[in-house]
């Protein structure tokens, strides 16, 4: 679940494989072995997940999508994406 | 239109050995108990796995032979389980509870276990080993208990078509989430049992259409409208280090040996390899193309029945054009078949 005070980072030891020929980006999660294809929203979220807080992440995400996506929709998309990435073991909140 | 061209393929299949503790009548690899020629050594495989990781491969699929029959297989798994999505196809007769737990710890991501029927009588007939059915079923149980997702796979033949529905129910009872039904390929010992095993395409299609999978069980199958030409992304190496694109092409092609040529040189430079990946075929089934995003169906069976790499795949009912797939071309029974 999204937490404004959380510190978001990718889970250690993931392996990423860009597949530009198919406009795809795949991640391998060794702790719970699986391959996931990352959509554009997930790729953008992960690019910002360097340990910054949920609040900072939200600001960065919304700014990156402005004016393509209204702020309210961008926030909803961010939260949904974070939850999905956490569930798949790709992203973690280091300050739960 | 051609298929996407990968600079480096993301996935690879490795036939880790051509040895096996069983002597299956349908074996595609002509497996023996002991290696007949020089298979890659442990250090050669480990170096190759490092090479794959360095070159951004993200999935490796092991098959054989029987991977568990190779004494160093766990060492090889250990080198890749945490670095690439690692899949293993096995008959699982050698998979104990302890070994399954170890594989889980090593990072094995999914197993595919061969069952050649829903009964011991049918399965053991194919393997030539009494008790092998029970051992394979136990292997599936051990893998699932250890937390490794496990699928059952069956090669469809005249001898097991009557228990196809029971096979799906068995797979479901064992706890598999998916059950694969695979076509029979004219390779290895299977082609020498062709008359005994091969069904007509119509019989295959009717058997598949009659299936009623148990709720929650996903059935994987590759007949029309899902007849894929996978060559565009196919990378495979046999136990001796030969780059062969796909295990179903094992008797027809050799793009170079990784003992003397870097794998990606075979991928990038071999003319036939590039031709097959381009997906230029004489005729395509639009439904299969639409569903699989590929062209012309499987190249292995297209070549086996016509001797042409560009021909339609007769296993697709839309492309069959009157080919009786119960009858093999004679040249196919040569040791290294060439038309």
For residue B236, give the H/E element and its range. strand B236-237
Q: How far is B58 from chain A (nearest CA, A)?
A: 7
Contacts A–B by Cβ distance under 8 A: 38
What pLDDT, on a 0 to 100 scale, did the predictor assign at position B36? 78
The partner residue sitting opposite B56, judged by closest CB among A17, A30, A34, is: A17
CA B257 to chain centre: 20
The partner residue sitting opposite A15, judged by closest CB among B4, B7, B58, is: B58
Strand partners, B161: none
Q: Of B26, B45, B18, B31, nearest to B263 (Cα)?
A: B45
What pLDDT, on a 0 to 100 scale, did the predictor assign at position B110? 98
pLDDT digits (tens, 9 = 90+) for A23-67: 999 999 999 999 999 999 999 999 999 999 999 999 999 999 999
DSSP-derived 3-state class of residue B145: helix
For residue B249, give the H/E element and its range. none
Q: Measured between alpha carbons, how far is residue A12 from residues B12, B80, B203 in Å? A: 24, 17, 51
Identify all chain A residues contacting B6, using CB atoms and an 8 Å cutoff: 19, 21
Q: What is the DSSP letter of B188?
A: H
DSSP-derived 3-state class of residue B82: coil
Note the pTM of the prediction, 2 decimals: 0.95
Contact B315, B297 (CB under 8 A): yes
Q: Note the ipTM here.
A: 0.93
Contact B244, B238 (CB under 8 A): yes
Q: What is the DSSP letter of B19?
A: B
Contact B222, B195 (CB under 8 A): no
pLDDT digits (tens, 9 = 90+) for A67-94: 999 999 999 999 999 999 999 999 999 8
Interface with chain A: mutation pick from B6, B9, B10, B53, highest number of A CBs within 10 Å: B10
What pLDDT, on a 0 to 100 scale, did the predictor assign at position A1? 82
Q: Of B28, B21, B299, nearest to B153 (Cα)?
A: B28
- For chain A, which residues make up each domain, given as ranges? 7-94
What pLDDT, on a 0 to 100 scale, did the predictor assign at position B290? 87
pLDDT in tens, chain B (339 residues): 457 889 999 999 999 999 999 999 999 999 999 987 799 999 999 999 999 999 999 999 999 999 999 999 999 999 999 999 999 999 999 999 999 999 999 999 999 999 999 999 999 999 999 999 999 999 999 999 999 999 999 999 999 999 999 999 999 999 999 999 999 999 999 999 999 999 999 999 999 999 999 999 999 999 999 999 999 999 999 999 999 999 999 999 999 999 999 999 999 999 999 999 998 899 999 999 888 888 889 999 999 999 999 999 999 999 999 999 999 999 998 877 777
What pLDDT, on a 0 to 100 scale, did the predictor assign at position B334? 83
Q: What are phi and psi of B264, to 5 degrees?
A: -70, -20
Check CB contact of B107 with chain A, cutoff 8 Å. Answer: yes
């Amino acid at each position: 679940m999204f937490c404004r005070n959380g510190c978001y980072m990718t889970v250690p030891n993931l392996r990423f494989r860009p597949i530009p020929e198919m406009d795809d980006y795949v991640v391998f999660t060794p702790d719970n072995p699986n391959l996931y294809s990352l959509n554009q929203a997930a790729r953008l979220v992960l690019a910002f997940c360097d340990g910054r807080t949920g609040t900072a992440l939200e600001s960065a995400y919304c700014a990156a999508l402005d004016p393509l996506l209204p702020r309210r929709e961008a926030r909803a998309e961010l939260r949904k994406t974070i939850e999905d990435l956490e569930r798949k073991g790709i992203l973690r909140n280091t300050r739960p | 239109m051609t298929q996407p061209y990968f600079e480096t393929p993301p996935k690879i299949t490795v036939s880790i050995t051509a040895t096996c503790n069983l002597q299956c009548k349908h074996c595609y690899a002509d497996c023996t108990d002991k290696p007949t020629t020089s298979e890659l050594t442990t250090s050669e495989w480990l170096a190759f796995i490092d090479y794959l990781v360095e070159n951004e491969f993200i999935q490796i699929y092991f098959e054989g032979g029987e991977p568990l029959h190779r004494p160093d297989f766990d060492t090889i798994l250990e080198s890749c389980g945490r670095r690439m999505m690692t899949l293993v196809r096995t008959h699982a007769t050698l998979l104990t509870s302890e070994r399954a737990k170890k594989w889980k710890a090593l990072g094995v991501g999914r197993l595919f276990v061969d069952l050649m029927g829903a009964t011991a009588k049918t399965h053991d007939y194919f393997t030539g080993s009494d008790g092998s059915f029970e051992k394979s079923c136990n292997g599936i149980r051990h893998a699932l208990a250890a937390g490794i997702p496990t699928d059952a796979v069956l090669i469809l033949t005249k001898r097991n078509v009557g228990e196809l529905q029971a096979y799906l129910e068995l797979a479901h009872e064992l706890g598999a989430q998916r059950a694969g039904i695979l076509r029979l390929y004219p390779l290895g010992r299977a082609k020498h049992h062709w008359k005994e095993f091969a069904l007509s395409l119509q019989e295959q299609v009717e058997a598949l259409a009659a299936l009623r999978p148990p709720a929650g069980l996903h059935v994987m199958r590759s007949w029309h409208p899902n007849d894929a030409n996978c060559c565009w992304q196919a990378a495979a190496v046999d136990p001796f280090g030969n780059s062969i694109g796909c295990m179903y092409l094992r008797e027809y092609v050799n793009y170079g040996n990784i003992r003397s040529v870097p794998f990606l040189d075979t991928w990038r430079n071999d003319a036939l390899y590039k031709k097959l990946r381009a997906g230029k075929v004489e005729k395509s089934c639009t439904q299969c193309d639409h569903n699989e995003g590929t062209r012309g169906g499987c190249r292995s069976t297209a070549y086996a029945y016509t001797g042409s790499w560009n021909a339609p795949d007769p296993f697709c009912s839309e492309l069959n054009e009157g080919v009786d797939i119960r009858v093999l071309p004679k040249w196919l029974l040569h040791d290294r078949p060439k038309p």
